[in-house]
Amino acid sequence: MASRKSVFDLSKCARPNILALEPYRCARDDYKDDGTNILLDANENAIGPGLALNKDGKLTNNAPNGSGPAIDIDLLGLNRYPDPHQIDLKQALCNLRNTHAHTSKTLTPDHLFVGVGSDEAIDALLRAFCVPGKDKILVCPPTYGMYSVSAQVNDVALAKVPLQAPGFQLDIPAIKAALSKDASIKLAYFCSPGNPTGALLKKEDVKQILEHESWNGIVVLDEAYIDFAPNGASLAEWVTEWPNLVVMQTLSKAFGLAGIRLGAAFTDPAIARILNSLKAPYNISNPTSQLARAALDPKHLEVMYKNRDLIVQQRERMLKELPKIPGVGRFLGGKESNFLLYEMLDAPKGGKPSNETALAVYERLAEDKGVVVRFRGKEYGCLGCLRITVGSEKEVDRFLEEIKVVLENIHVKAGTINPKEEQRREKEASAVVA
Ligand SMILES: Cc1ncc(COP(=O)(O)O)c(C=O)c1O
């Protein structure tokens, strides 16, 4: 082919903040979901979808005991665009969260935005409220990585106020001071229960931010893991009381439906209207909508609650068994989620929390044993920590067995690691968002 003449220069054409992005990396790039690995890295529901399925995992009109309602995916209707408003789905989400534990007021579909996972809501809020290159969001590390990724995509800067140790609660005086002095902060993202902390935030603390005397911005409460917390913990219905509150939720975690990509943001109708106006019109596909509506039906909800209870049982078991393993350090954070944050120590007795050990445990577990967890040692306040998703009973059996062996071997070989190489591996293991 004759050489083509063109002045095109991608590096000067694309937005600089976008050019600086790294392609999304997830642990599944390295450790496949092909049935050979135990995946305790992404806080998914290890038991399965919260749907009444038959023994082969198929949708059927005859769910277990003939009890489940049919899930009737309308394949013949797939030539048509989906409903852009999703009122029935929104009403089902309201029915779930109208507990009247926090207010006598009632959520209605006009309090809702539904999106492609709660990741869409995180991004939509940034686009709606932050002027690129000018405004900021406030985050409280250690926290969910997508807030900062989405901020970078939108050319929005971060103000950081770390969570307080121990317990990973909000530092209210520091947050209030940051909001008082910087009017360019438009959104404050709080995660409750936190990722990777597993700790539920105090309602009273959230109230103090909502009542800030001068800050004109929005409190975003990410409740992705709320169904693993005690019943009544969700503050979703509080959006009927506060015009400056957004509560995000997802069907990816307790509902076990990460594959359908359905997230929701409960908020005041005025904010919901803005989010619904800026979204792509047909963001929720027909199959997703039908599966989500089914999952919120009482018969299927029963399965979700059963699966959730199984996970909570295994969570309690891990909390009891892990401290007995030599080299496992303190349990940090809270236990209101489907994962636990534990320190790894550099010696079986009297050891200190160590990133070197935690990284070696992470790598040996994944590469030699096929058990994939998350290295979180580079996160604020998480020195030497692994975040471990609670698995099924069999998975927890395997995990407890393997981590004991792996730690023993690492302690025997301690002191043989090259520091430069160690830094590179830590960076690589930290570059995963979930
Ligand atoms: C705190 C938090 N928020 C939101 C999400 C994203 O959830 P979704 O699958 O709904 O996009 C995750 C996923 O790991 C999360 O940990």
Confidence band, pLDDT 50/70/90 cuts, at residue 74: confident
To the nearest whole percent, how much of the chain has pLDDT over 70? 95
| pLDDT score for 417 | 62
Going by alpha carbons, the residue nearest to atom 13 of ligand 1 is 434
Instruction: Determine the Cα–Cα distance for residues 289 and 124; give it in Å rounded to an integer.
Output: 19
| pLDDT score for 413 | 83
> Quick check: do 14-43+325-430 and 81-300 share a fold?
no
Check pLDDT > 70 for residue 429.
Answer: yes
Is the distance from the beta carbon of residue 118 to the nearest atom of ligand 1 less than 6 Å?
yes
**Mean predicted lDDT score pLDDT of the chain:** 93
365-396: pLDDT as tens digits = 999 999 999 999 999 999 999 999 999 999 99
| pLDDT score for 415 | 64
Atom of ligand 1 minimally distant from the CA of 194: 1
Q: Which of 252, 257, 379 to mutate to test the pocket of ligand 1 (most atoms within 8 A of CB)?
A: 252
Check pLDDT > 60 for residue 174.
Answer: yes
More confident residue, 62 or 152: 152
Going by alpha carbons, the residue nearest to atom 11 of ligand 1 is 117
Confidence band, pLDDT 50/70/90 cuts, at residue 423: confident
Check pLDDT > 80 for residue 354.
Answer: yes
| pLDDT score for 56 | 74
State the distance from the centre of ligand 1 to the C-alpha of 224, rounded, in angstroms.
Answer: 6
96-151: pLDDT as tens digits = 999 999 999 999 999 999 999 999 999 999 999 999 999 999 999 999 999 999 99
Confidence band, pLDDT 50/70/90 cuts, at residue 25: confident
- The topology under which CATH files domain 81-300 is Aspartate Aminotransferase; domain 2 (3.40.640)
| pLDDT score for 397 | 97
State the distance from the centre of ligand 1 to the C-alpha of 93, rounded, in angstroms.
Answer: 17
pTM exceeds 0.75, yes or no: yes
| pLDDT score for 69 | 58
Atom of ligand 1 minimally distant from the CA of 119: 11
| pLDDT score for 161 | 98
Is the distance from the beta carbon of residue 43 to the nearest atom of ligand 1 less than 6 Å?
yes
Is the distance from the beta carbon of residue 45 to the nearest atom of ligand 1 less than 6 Å?
no
To the nearest whole percent, how much of the chain has pLDDT over 90? 84
Going by alpha carbons, the residue nearest to atom 2 of ligand 1 is 224
The label of the residue with tokens 């900062």 reads: 148
- CB 119 within 8 Å of CB 189: no
List the domain boundaries for the chain.
14-43+325-430, 81-300
Is the distance from the beta carbon of residue 357 to the nearest atom of ligand 1 less than 6 Å?
no
Atom of ligand 1 minimally distant from the CA of 433: 14
Is the distance from the beta carbon of residue 154 to the nearest atom of ligand 1 less than 6 Å?
no
Q: What is the mean pLDDT of residues 172-178?
A: 98
Confidence band, pLDDT 50/70/90 cuts, at residue 425: confident
Task: Report CA Rg, the chain.
Answer: 23
Is the distance from the beta carbon of residue 354 to the nearest atom of ligand 1 less than 6 Å?
no
Confidence band, pLDDT 50/70/90 cuts, at residue 188: very high
Q: Please give the CATH number for the structural domain made up of 14-43+325-430.
A: 3.90.1150.10
Atom of ligand 1 minimally distant from the CA of 434: 14
State the distance from the centre of ligand 1 to the C-alpha of 263, rounded, in angstroms.
Answer: 9
